[in-house]
């Protein structure tokens, strides 16, 4: 605004000087009057030159200001792009940390359940306390032991707690079930439901790690399509639409006839993305 005002004043001065020159040219030039007019004309020309130089400096300043603004704009765009990259790298690191924590937990669980070196075997060949040396002689009849009650099904207990919304309790019980029954065919399901618990309590990053670990180990399991779908939804809940779309596409590619694939197509349509 200031530069425009200065330019306006400069233009008015030029017009005024032009009028003065025009009038000076129409006055009869005699004696001292001619000399005075010549001085006035030189003075006016000098003023015109100053005004033109002022306009030139204003134009140069405006160009420099515009160039500086463009430079600042580019710097801001570069900073924003760098910030986005940093956020993405931090997210990748968080995912890796969660995966390492899961591996550490599994290693600790294995070490706790592995028998200590030199521990006596617990097989049927061991001597029972009643048969140990120095014990009373056998009566010849097998001592009847009380009938053991069936152990409660920890998987069903964990699932019931999940159904009641007790997600932290259910996660602990599912993990306890896995540690106590590593060969049970329901272990993959327990791993899957741990991811569902984390998703239900909005711990989306933990859920993504859980489903990702599940899919690495049990890609052929019947719950694999559901794991892909829930993993994509977790990304979507975190606002990471590109990753969500990628997971939806993987689901459609790997399990095209599943119900989850149909739901994934609907999700991609809502996102405005081609399957």
Please indicate, yes or no, if residue 126 is contained in any of the structural domains.
Answer: no
What secondary structure does DSSP assign to 52-74, as a single string? HHHHHHHHHHHHHHHHHHHHHHH
- pLDDT, position 43: 76
35-to-18, 30, 39, 270 alpha-carbon distances in Å: 19, 8, 6, 86
What secondary structure does DSSP assign to 206-223, as a single string? HHHHHHHHHHHH-TTSTT
When pLDDT is averaged across residues 219-245 and rounded to a whole number, the result is 96
Q: In the structure, what pLDDT confidence band is assigned to residue 87 with cuts at 50, 70 and 90?
A: confident
d(CA 150, CA 106): 27
Q: Cα–Cα–Cα angle for 150, 152, 153, nearest 5°? A: 115
SS3 47: helix
d(CA 189, CA 213): 12
Please indicate, yes or no, if residue 135 is contained in any of the structural domains.
Answer: no
When pLDDT is averaged across residues 53-71 and rounded to a whole number, the result is 88
Whether this prediction's pTM lies above 0.85 is answered by no
Residue 152 has pLDDT above 80, yes or no: no
Mean pLDDT of the chain: 79
Token representation of residue 15: 């017009």
**Residue 260's domain is classified under what CATH number?**
1.25.40.10
Which residues form the domain of 198? 151-271
Q: In the structure, what pLDDT confidence band is assigned to residue 34 with cuts at 50, 70 and 90?
A: confident
**Same structural domain, 164 and 261:** yes
Q: In the structure, what pLDDT confidence band is assigned to residue 10 with cuts at 50, 70 and 90?
A: low
Q: Which of 58, 86, 114 represents a domain boundary (last residue)? A: 86
- pLDDT, position 140: 46
* 101-105, 172-176, 234-238: least confidently modelled range: 101-105
When pLDDT is averaged across residues 53-81 and rounded to a whole number, the result is 86
Q: Which of 66, 86, 106 represents a domain boundary (last residue)? A: 86
Residue 101 has pLDDT above 60, yes or no: yes
**Same structural domain, 156 and 257:** yes
Q: In the structure, what pLDDT confidence band is assigned to residue 209 with cuts at 50, 70 and 90?
A: very high
How many domains does the chain contain in total? 2
Q: Which of 30, 54, 86 represents a domain boundary (last residue)? A: 86
Residue 150 has pLDDT above 50, yes or no: no
Q: How many residues does the chain have?
A: 275
**Nearest-10 Cα torsion for 98, 101, 102, 104:** 160
Q: In the structure, what pLDDT confidence band is assigned to residue 22 with cuts at 50, 70 and 90?
A: low
Please indicate, yes or no, if residue 49 is contained in any of the structural domains.
Answer: yes
- pLDDT, position 168: 96
- pLDDT, position 132: 42
**Same structural domain, 167 and 255:** yes
What secondary structure does DSSP assign to 84-131, as a single string? HHHHHHHHHHHHHHHHHHHHHHHHHHHHHHSPPTTPPP-STTSPPGGG
Cβ neighbour number for residue 224 with a 10 Å cutoff = 21
Please indicate, yes or no, if residue 247 is contained in any of the structural domains.
Answer: yes
**Same structural domain, 80 and 170:** no
């Amino acid at each position: 605004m200031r530069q425009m005002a200065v330019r306006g004043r400069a233009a008015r001065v030029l017009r005024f000087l032009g009028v003065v020159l025009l009038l000076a040219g129409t006055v009869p030039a005699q004696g001292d009057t001619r000399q005075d007019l010549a001085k006035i004309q030189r003075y006016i020309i000098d003023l015109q030159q100053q005004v033109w130089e002022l306009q030139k400096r204003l134009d140069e300043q405006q160009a420099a200001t515009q160039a500086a603004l463009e430079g600042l704009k580019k710097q801001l765009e570069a900073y924003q792009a760098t910030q986005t990259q940093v956020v993405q790298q931090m997210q990748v690191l968080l995912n890796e940390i969660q995966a390492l924590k899961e591996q550490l937990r599994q290693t600790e669980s294995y070490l706790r359940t592995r028998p200590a070196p030199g521990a006596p075997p617990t097989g049927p060949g061991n001597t029972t306390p009643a048969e140990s040396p120095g014990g009373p002689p056998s009566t010849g009849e097998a001592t009847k032991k009380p009938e053991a009650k069936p152990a409660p099904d920890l998987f069903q207990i964990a699932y019931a707690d999940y159904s009641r919304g007790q997600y932290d309790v259910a996660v602990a019980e599912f993990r306890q079930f896995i540690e106590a029954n590593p060969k049970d065919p329901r272990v993959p399901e327990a791993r899957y439901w741990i991811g569902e618990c984390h998703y239900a309590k909005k711990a989306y990053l933990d859920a993504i790690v859980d489903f990702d670990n599940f899919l690495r180990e049990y890609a052929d399991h019947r719950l694999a399509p559901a794991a892909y779908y829930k993993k994509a939804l977790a990304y979507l809940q975190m606002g990471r639409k590109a990753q969500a779309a990628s997971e939806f596409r993987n689901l459609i590619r790997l399990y095209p006839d599943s119900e989850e694939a149909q739901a994934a197509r609907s999700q991609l349509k809502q996102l405005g993305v081609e399957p």
